[in-house]
């Protein structure tokens, strides 16, 4: 059997009974919904509501709050509903606040155009007085530097804010424009920009409005050109890459995902998951999307 088709069969069996957001979303994608899935979605929405603090955040954490809003929208909660609006409003209140990537200025950062005189709109993940050792996203993608964590967390929040329909706000648009203008990000691989950060930026820009989306062909091509023949990328988590590329509505992005799909299939365990541990379910959901794209190209 085609390895991608086999991977989808295993994933379908794995997600068939999962009473989670990932299980709900996977069954909708695979065309195998359960009769009680609408009830499950409502239960999951109530659970999410219980995690929202009075200020609209989840635990006062930018990444957790962005993920909460994303999960709610995955559960078909309207972006304009109060349940989504509250965490989004809290995130918007974190833009250009103490600790945000790019705030402040030094001669070296000014020269590199990485200071507040050249970029802005970034969301604050932690105060400037707190050093961040590591940030791991819900897919398992991680960075291990303070500035990398601040940058990736902000891109992660931007993605949720854009999906929630806040693309017309001045600071949101400045954030997107800043990502597109960052020196050396879109014409080199590695160097001053770890590929994980580049892909985090692409994941957000994929949800941006015109005219920003006009840059997507160049950005997607950048990732495609740096993809290995076996579908992987150097110094980059393949799941992180296909998660971002899957949201880009362009042939070159879909082709890159299709090339990565067999590699993901080889990483699948007999029980249907991609990897193990706390990120396995989300990583498997990302893989399902990739395999479905690959099936279209077969």
Q: What pLDDT, in 10s, does the model give residues 53-99?
A: 999 999 999 999 999 999 999 999 999 999 999 999 999 999 999 99
Burial class (CB in 10 A: 0-12, 13-18, 19+), 92: middle
User: Would you state the structure tokens that stand for residue 131, as one six-digit string?
Assistant: 């050093």
Q: How far apart are CA 257 and CA 238, in angstroms?
A: 9
Distances (CA, A) of 107 to 104, 117, 183: 10, 11, 16
Band of pLDDT at residue 298, cut at 50, 70 and 90:
low
Is pLDDT of 7 > 90? yes
Mean pLDDT of all residues in 248-255: 95
Distance CA 255, CA 82 (A): 38
Q: Work out the average pLDDT over 104-116.
A: 92
Which residues fall within 8 angstroms of residue 107, CB to CB, at 6 or more apart? none
Task: Give residue 205's Cα distance to chain centre.
Answer: 10
pLDDT, averaged across the chain: 96
Supply the pLDDT for residue 77. 97
Q: What is the mean pLDDT of residues 229-257?
A: 97
Which residue segment(s) compose the domain that 254 sits in? Answer: 3-297
- CATH code (residue 235): 1.50.10.20
Alpha helices (H) along 51-145:
62-74, 82-92, 107-112
Q: Give per-residue pLDDT as tens, 201-219.
A: 999 999 999 999 999 999 9
State the total domains in the chain.
1
Burial 42-58 (b: 16+ CB within 10 A, else e): eebbeebeeebeeebbb
Residues making up the chain, counted from first to last: 298
Reply yes or no on whether the pLDDT at 1 is more than 70. no
Cα–Cα distance, 216 to 272 (Å, whole number): 32
Q: Is-above-0.85 flag for pTM? A: yes
- Are 257 and 292 spatial neighbours (Cβ–Cβ below 8 Å)? no
59 in the Ramachandran plot: left (φ > 0), alpha (ψ -120 to 50) or beta? Answer: left
Q: What pLDDT, on the 0 to 100 scale, is given for residue 101? A: 97
């Amino acid at each position: 059997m085609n390895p991608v088709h086999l991977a989808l069969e295993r994933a379908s069996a794995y997600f068939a009974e999962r009473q989670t957001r990932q299980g709900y979303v996977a069954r909708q994608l695979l065309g195998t919904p359960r009769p009680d899935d609408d009830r499950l979605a409502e239960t999951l929405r109530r659970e999410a509501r219980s995690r929202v603090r009075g200020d609209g955040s989840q635990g006062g954490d930018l990444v957790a709050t962005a993920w909460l809003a994303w999960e709610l929208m995955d559960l078909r909660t309207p972006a304009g509903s109060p349940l989504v609006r509250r965490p989004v409003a809290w995130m918007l209140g974190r833009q250009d606040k103490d600790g945000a990537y790019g705030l402040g200025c030094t001669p070296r950062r000014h020269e590199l155009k990485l200071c507040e005189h050249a970029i802005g709109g970034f969301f604050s993940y932690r105060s400037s007085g707190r050093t961040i050792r590591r940030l791991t996203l819900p897919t398992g993608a991680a960075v291990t530097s303070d500035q990398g964590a601040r940058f990736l967390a902000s891109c992660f929040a931007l993605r949720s804010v854009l999906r929630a329909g806040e693309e017309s706000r001045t600071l949101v648009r400045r954030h997107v424009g800043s990502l597109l203008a960052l020196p050396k990000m879109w014409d080199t691989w590695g160097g001053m920009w770890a590929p994980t950060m580049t892909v985090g930026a692409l994941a957000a820009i994929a949800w941006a409005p015109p005219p920003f989306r006009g840059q997507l062909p160049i950005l997607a091509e950048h990732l495609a050109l740096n993809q290995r023949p076996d579908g992987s990328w150097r110094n980059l988590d393949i799941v992180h890459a296909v998660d971002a590329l899957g949201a880009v509505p362009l042939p070159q992005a879909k082709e890159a995902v299709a090339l990565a799909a067999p590699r993901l299939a080889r990483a699948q365990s007999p029980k249907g998951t991609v990897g193990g541990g706390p990120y396995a379910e989300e990583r498997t959901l990302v893989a399902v999307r990739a395999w479905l794209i690959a099936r279209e190209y077969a």
